A and B are shown apart, each in its own frame.
Chain A
Amino acid sequence: DGGITQSPKYLFRKEGQNVTLSCEQNLNHDAMYWYRQDPGQGLRLIYYSQIVNDFQKGDIAEGYSVSREKKESFPLTVTSAQKNPTAFYLCASSIDIYNEQFFGPGTRLTVL
């Protein structure tokens, strides 16, 4: 089955810790994205990547980092510098940056 997977589904972190959220796709898509969704808010773009070994900051990149070493994978690290990390994180991919995006199931991160 083709699709996008994210893990873990739920993640709890203590303040001051870095955590990495996984995103994998087997759709052979070039572009991948990370979004954050807060209650009552739309999706806000954190980072996106058009091709392997390239990525660009989105609207709210501060406190986050990414890598794109493989086409299939686009992990997101939430660092201790991110002041309000508790949120729902969605990963998406698309054939290229101008086509519809398909989303993974999301990871809910809670900072204790």
Chain B
Amino acid sequence: EDKVVQSPLSLVVHEGDTVTLNCSYEVTNFRSLLWYKQEKKAPTFLFMLTSSGIEKKSGRLSSILDKKELSSILNITATQTGDSAIYLCAVYYGGSQGNLIFGKGTKLSVKP
């Protein structure tokens, strides 16, 4: 069965801490992995990763894909209270019609 597993499910840190969120997957014919941030409502896109070992960076956020380990990590440095959200990992896989499967998310709470 195709699946995406995120860990931890929830995390509480203090401002200034660095956090690492994990996403592992088991799918047939992997195409890409995406990270989203979901605050109160709709998820917003963060990164799309297709190539192993190439880090994508945006400000204090960065992410990297390890195709050998079938996983990805999302790093947030110098966390701020505004980083509090659910971080969703999703994987595109399959044939010509494509499929997208989401993990359950990691709920990050950043305390002042």
Residues of chain A at the chain B interface (Cβ within 8 Å) = 33, 35, 40-45, 50, 56, 90, 97-106
**With A97-B97, A97-B98, A100-B34 known to touch, is A42 a contact of B103 (CB < 8 Å)?**
yes
Instruction: Tell whether, in the assembled complex, residue A100 and residue B88 are in contact, meaning their CB atoms are under 8 Å apart.
Output: no
Instruction: Tell whether, in the assembled complex, residue A98 and residue B104 are in contact, meaning their CB atoms are under 8 Å apart.
Output: no
Main secondary structure of the interface of A (DSSP, over half): loop
Q: Specify which chain B residues have a CB less than 8 angstroms from the CB of A90 in the assembled complex.
A: 42-43
Instruction: Tell whether, in the assembled complex, residue B98 and residue A103 are in contact, meaning their CB atoms are under 8 Å apart.
Output: no
Number of contact residues on B: which range applies? 20 to 34
Chain A nearest Cβ from B99, distance in angstroms: 8
Question: When the two chains form the complex, which single residue of B34, B48, B104 contacts A42, counting CB atoms closer than 8 Å?
Answer: B104
Some 8 contacts from A to B, beta carbons below 8 A apart, are A42-B103, A42-B104, A43-B88, A90-B42, A97-B98, A100-B34, A103-B44, A106-B41
Q: A42-B88, A42-B103 are in contact. List 16 more A-B contacts (CB 8 A).
A: A35-B102, A43-B43, A44-B102, A90-B42, A90-B43, A97-B92, A97-B100, A98-B92, A99-B48, A100-B45, A101-B34, A102-B45, A103-B36, A103-B42, A105-B42, A106-B42
Instruction: Tell whether, in the assembled complex, residue B100 and residue A101 are in contact, meaning their CB atoms are under 8 Å apart.
Output: yes
Residues of chain B at the chain A interface (Cβ within 8 Å) = 4, 31-32, 34, 36, 41-45, 48, 88, 90, 92, 97-105
